[in-house]
């Protein structure tokens, strides 16, 4: 597959920013606590499903302190329709406990601290910082991975390496580009039956030539 040229990457960047300058996550949240939990739950689960789950969870456990004292079986029951709910329930309580013990009950907003929390890897930390603080970071989920490869911006085999390439090539406005690529991949450049003719405003840059198996 061909690689995008520097000129094409700049043009793709400008087009994505123009189309998604006001884009935000589709996860429903009111504060940093709710955002972090929603992002943790969204791993290998749809935002739509997470938004169905979280109201009851937040109602019963409205803050870090309450969640740190939660009953594991109760949390499992509340999030049981989420993928990998057993592990996620354990991590949610461990995360809250660590925030209480190590950060005086305040969720940290820097990557080094966030990744020390159970269930919070680099991607989760970046998504939280992008959404909550507008951090100039890139996070690569399945949608971003797919879009980056179809447009020839990255040929990396992993999400982490794709993130490195995107960060190096785009440099600035990464928070907008991340969210833009997520939404573009979710609704236009879909894994199955991408809407190339109907909706795509980047088709002239596409390097996939009709083969949509990447991502």
Active-site positions read: 123, 141
Q: In this structure, what DSSP letter does residue 80 have?
A: T
Q: How far apart are CA 97 and CA 88, in angstroms?
A: 14
Whether 17 contacts 170, CB under 8 Å? no
Q: How far apart are CA 193 and CA 188, in angstroms?
A: 9
Q: How many CB atoms lie within 10 A of CB 52?
A: 13
Please name which of 141, 176, 134 lies closest in space to residue 12, comparing C-alpha atoms: 176
Q: How far apart are CA 97 and CA 66, in angstroms?
A: 10
Tokens describing residue 190: 């879909």
């Amino acid at each position: 597959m061909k690689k995008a040229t520097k000129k094409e990457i700049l043009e793709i960047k400008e087009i994505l920013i123009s189309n998604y300058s006001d884009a935000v996550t589709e996860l429903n949240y009111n504060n940093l606590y709710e955002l972090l939990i929603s992002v943790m739950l969204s791993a290998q689960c749809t935002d739509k499903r997470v938004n169905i789950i979280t109201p009851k969870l937040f109602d019963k456990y409205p803050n870090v302190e309450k969640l740190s004292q939660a009953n594991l079986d109760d949390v499992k029951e509340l999030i049981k329709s989420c993928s990998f709910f057993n592990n996620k329930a354990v991590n949610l309580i461990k995360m809250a406990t660590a925030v209480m013990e190590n950060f005086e009950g305040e969720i940290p907003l820097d990557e080094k601290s966030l990744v020390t929390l159970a269930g919070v890897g680099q991607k989760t930390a970046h998504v939280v910082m992008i959404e909550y603080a507008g951090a100039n970071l890139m996070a690569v989920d399945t949608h971003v991975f797919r879009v980056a490869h179809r447009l020839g911006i990255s040929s990396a085999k992993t999400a982490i390496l794709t993130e490195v390439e995107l960060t190096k090539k785009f440099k600035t406005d990464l928070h907008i580009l991340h969210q833009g690529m997520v939404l573009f991949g979710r609704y236009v450049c879909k894994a199955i039956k991408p809407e190339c003719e109907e909706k795509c405003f980047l088709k002239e840059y596409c390097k996939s030539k009709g083969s949509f198996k990447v991502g």
